[in-house]
Amino acid sequence: MNRSLTLLAFALLALFLLSALIGRYPAPGFLPLDRLADDELAQRLLFNLRLPRLITALLLGMTLSAAGMVFQLLFSNPLVEPGFLGVSQGAAFGAAFAIVFLGGAALVTQTSAALFALAGLGISYLLAHRLRYGGWVLRLVLAGIAVSAFFSAGLGLLKYLADPLTQLPEITFWLLGGLASLTWDKLLSILPAVLLGLTVMFLFRWRLNILALDEQTAFSLGVPAGRERLLLIFAAVLPTAALISVSGMVGWVGLIMPHIARRAFRADARYSLPAAMLLGGIFTMLCDDLARTLLAGEIPLGILTSLFGALIFLALMTFQQPKPH
């Protein structure tokens, strides 16, 4: 099991190096290494444009997959994804709000998206405490649905108010997701939150199995499930919100990668969580490579992750034998 994980890590490393060299300069394809040695433009391109973007794609994939795995475990539900507690819709609303009312400068849009994403989680959590229906998990899910609907109504209103020639296209492109405008500054601004969240999730990987059990069972195993669940929800949402704020909506990674990780490895999160991180990193780097090289113009990353995510999902469900239950 550990050997397969090591192999996967090496595959990720190899892909990272290849991705740094692939692009459309000087011609579509790989950048020859001897050219890199004496072409200053090639060096700057690689270091200032490709590298921060590649690292962000890697972190985006790792974070969305890990957060998806954590949420699926915490909610004992294989169909949840990291944005469902009002986080994705909150970020979308925040970005559109900044574009329409705050001038839409990159840093302002990013901050607004991150703040509204966290607000989405906060409101969902507070609402869940007030609901008088069902257990803790169900209440949180219901509150998340309500908050998402609320923000998506707000997003609709903002789109309606937006200037159709300048602001509306900007909102649309933000919602499609992409890493085209990534810089070192943007990456560094989100790096602490991302690394903190990823580390906490990774360290809790065995414990997550117990947090996935019934609340009373987790209690009988001596685990204060309420407190630790809250910690892990924040550890999953914080880096997700930070990354969405620079990448826009990138869907399906957080839903599909945990499934593949569980099928290819095993349900035990000791193995499936690191596997999901590695697979998510590989998948997102590949999609972003295609996004920036396939056509002369950029293809929004969110379109590619949805397309390939859906194809992989269908392939999984169609070709694998159903397990007896």
Site for another protein, rule CB under 8 A: 73, 76-78, 203-204, 206-207, 209-210, 212-214, 216-217, 219-224, 228, 262, 266-268, 270, 323-325
In this complex, which beta carbon is closest to another protein, that of residue 47 or of residue 206? 206
In this complex, which beta carbon is closest to another protein, that of residue 4 or of residue 217? 217
Tokens encoding 20: 């740094």
Residues 144 and 85: beta-carbon distance below 8 Å = yes
Q: Closest distance between another protein and the C-beta of residue 263, in Å?
A: 9
Place of tokens 């459309």: 24
Residues 112 and 151: beta-carbon distance below 8 Å = no
Q: Closest distance between another protein and the C-beta of residue 110, in Å?
A: 32
Q: Closest distance between another protein and the C-beta of residue 316, in Å?
A: 14
- Dist. CA 190–CA 118, nearest whole Å: 14
Q: Closest distance between another protein and the C-beta of residue 86, in Å?
A: 23
Asked whether the bond before 26 is cis by omega within 30 degrees of 0, the reply is yes
Q: Closest distance between another protein and the C-beta of residue 135, in Å?
A: 12
Could you give the dihedral angle defined by the CA atoms of residues 66, 198, 98 and 175, in that order, rounded to the nearest 10 degrees?
A: -20
Q: Which of 260, 250, 244 is nearest to 306 (CA)?
A: 250
In this complex, which beta carbon is closest to another protein, that of residue 171 or of residue 225? 225
In this complex, which beta carbon is closest to another protein, that of residue 73 or of residue 238? 73
In this complex, which beta carbon is closest to another protein, that of residue 188 or of residue 231? 231
Tokens encoding 28: 């579509």
Q: Which of 237, 270, 134, 114 is nearest to 186 (CA)?
A: 114
